[in-house]
């Protein structure tokens, strides 16, 4: 299984007055504009039938919708396992339920870096990963979708993705 990790695009800064519930914080206009270009770079890396799974948070859903639009695919599927702060094991369990050859996970930091580190290095792996907003990575699991079983295929910054698009 190929697993693409996509960090949500640039969102508004936390503001408890405007968004008492942080899950409702949206992308900025600049975030939308920049990610719209980066999405075409991501699409160049994605197999056509990639299924998009997204965090239920507004900023991740908006990012997933922009990616779906660029991919020309159906609506992304919301998965509570991808919400900010969820345990990495929930993400592994979610992927083990999927039958697709290629899946894209649209989510948050530090969840994505933790999943990436655990996928590569196993349980308790500690790696410093600079996963930029709107950036993407690709992991490949040959047999088992489990900690320590992945190979990193690529990791691209938003700037590189915009250049590819």
For 3-25, what is each residue's pLDDT tens digit?
A: 999 999 999 999 999 999 999 99
pLDDT of residue 67: 97
The reported pTM is: 0.96
Question: Using 50, 70 and 90 to split pLDDT, how confident is the model at 126?
Answer: confident
pLDDT of residue 73: 77
CATH number at residue 113: 3.40.50.1240
pLDDT of residue 146: 97
- Structurally, the chain folds into a number of domains equal to 1
Average pLDDT over residues 106-131: 95
How far apart are the C-alpha atoms of 49 and 27, rounded to whole Å?
Answer: 26
User: Strands 51-54, 102-107: parallel, antiparallel or unpaired by DSSP?
Assistant: parallel
Per the CB < 8 A criterion, the answer to whether 144 and 95 are in contact is: no
Give the chain's count of helices (H) and strands (E): 5, 6
**Structural domain of 82:** 2-164
What does the mean pLDDT of the chain come to? Answer: 96
Question: Using 50, 70 and 90 to split pLDDT, how confident is the model at 30?
Answer: very high
Residue 94 has pLDDT above 80, yes or no: yes
Residue 36 has pLDDT above 90, yes or no: yes
């Amino acid at each position: 299984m190929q697993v693409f990790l996509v960090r949500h695009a640039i969102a508004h800064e936390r503001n408890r007055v405007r968004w008492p519930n942080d899950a409702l914080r949206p992308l900025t206009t600049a975030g939308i504009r920049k990610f719209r270009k980066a999405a075409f770079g991501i699409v160049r890396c994605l197999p056509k039938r990639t299924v998009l799974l997204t965090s239920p948070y507004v900023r991740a859903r908006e990012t997933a919708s922009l990616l779906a639009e660029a991919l020309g695919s159906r609506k992304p599927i919301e998965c509570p396992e991808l919400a900010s702060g969820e345990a990495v094991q929930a993400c592994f369990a979610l992927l083990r339920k999927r039958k697709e050859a290629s899946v894209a996970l649209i989510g948050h930091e530090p969840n994505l870096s933790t999943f990436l580190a655990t996928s590569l290095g196993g349980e308790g792996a500690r790696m410093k990963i600079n996963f930029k907003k709107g950036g993407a990575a690709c992991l490949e699991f040959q047999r088992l979708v489990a900690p320590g079983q992945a190979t990193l295929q690529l990791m691209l910054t938003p700037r590189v993705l915009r250049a590819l698009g």
